[in-house]
Amino acid sequence: MSSTAVSRAHALATDARYREAFDTLAGAARGGDADALMQLADWRIQGGIVRRDLAEARDLLGRAGAAGNVAAALLHSSFVANGVGGAPDWPAALAALEKLAAQAPVAAAQLALLAKADLDAGGDPTAVPVLESLNEAPSVAVGRNLLSAAECGYLIARAAQSMTPSTVVDPATGRMAPHPIRTCDYASFGVYYEDLVVGMINRRIAALSGTRHARGEPLQVLRYAPGGEYRAHMDALPATDNQRVVTVLVYLNDAYEGGETDFPELGLRFRGRPGDALIFGNITADGQADPRSRHAGLPVRSGTKLIASRWIRRAPYAFPPPAPLLADS
């Protein structure tokens, strides 16, 4: 249950009394209120009311966790593991999870999976599959068994908690509308959801692609019901200084018919087994969008198809912060 200070801050913010709301939380946080510390951390992550400050958010989460807020302690462990708001410290993150395991089943579940993974002291994989080339230019390859069955199951279970239909912003109305070419549900593992297991998977994807973890957009899990598809498209963006250079798709299940990944310009069609990763380039040698990388997720004829998707940028990537309502806080 939220503290009185958090409830009061929510009411003030609803009335657009943002300065009073912030001061209420800040005062309670100075007094050690765990829920107020957690709410302030959330505001520092979101950046809508006060400016985004991930370093301060990390500190606030640590203080909230130490004061007894288990959700804050779990999120703090993820920040520490993934280097959000400060340097990564994998051993410290593991130690924090071990302390939480008795009271947080999700911590115990993460530890059980991490114990079976081949990781170095920094949490990076000691080895990844050798890529099998399917096409030379653009490069299309498969890494077999990148994820174990248990890791696939973990992603499926975590994604099921937050699945939502694919939508886009309608430029005419500014409202969310059904995605015009992607008919599926999805869940995104952004900064709130990239726990140590998801972070480990993202590091494995980075190692497979020869890139750095920080260059990836948030991992997504996509769920296609019968008739669901992703019509032919390109992942490269039309105008950006930080292009999506590589796409990695990881197949999570096998209980469906249809749904192959199709590259019409290459005459290539592929369907992976659970745990297999398909990796392909999106740009030409001179950095331009490569039309030959155009691809589709063909319609699912029966069953449910589940895949994980990660777009990898040319340089480290983070969603740009919004303009805060209290710019001086």
Strands of the chain (E only): list them: 132-135, 140-143, 164-165, 167-169, 176-178, 185-189, 219-224, 230-233, 244-251, 256-258, 261-263, 268-270, 277-281, 295-297, 300-303, 305-313
What is the per-residue pLDDT for 173?
A: 73
Q: What ranges do the domains of the chain cover?
A: 4-104, 132-313
One-character DSSP codes across 179-193: -SSB-SEEEEE-TTT
Q: Quick one: which of 54, 64, 55 has its CA closest to 34?
A: 64
Give buried/exposed letters for 90-118 (b at 16+ CB in 10 A, else e): beebbebbeebbeebebbebbbebbeebe
pLDDT in tens, the chain (329 residues): 468 999 999 999 999 999 999 999 999 999 999 999 999 999 999 999 999 999 999 999 999 999 999 999 999 999 999 999 999 999 999 999 999 999 999 999 999 999 999 999 999 999 999 999 999 999 999 999 999 999 999 999 999 999 999 987 666 776 777 888 999 999 999 999 999 999 999 999 999 999 999 999 999 999 999 999 999 999 999 889 999 999 999 999 999 999 999 999 999 999 999 999 999 999 999 999 999 999 999 999 999 999 999 999 999 998 899 999 998 88
User: Does 2.60.120.620 match the CATH number of domain 132-313?
Assistant: yes
What is the per-residue pLDDT for 1?
A: 44
d(CA 182, CA 307): 13
CATH of 4-104, one of 1.10.569.10, 1.20.120.420, 1.10.3720.10, 1.25.40.10: 1.25.40.10
CB atoms within 10 A of CB 277: 26
What is the per-residue pLDDT for 70?
A: 97
Contacts of 268 (CB under 8 A, 6+ apart): 134, 135, 140, 262
What is the per-residue pLDDT for 171?
A: 67
Q: Write out the two tokens for 232.
A: 């032919």
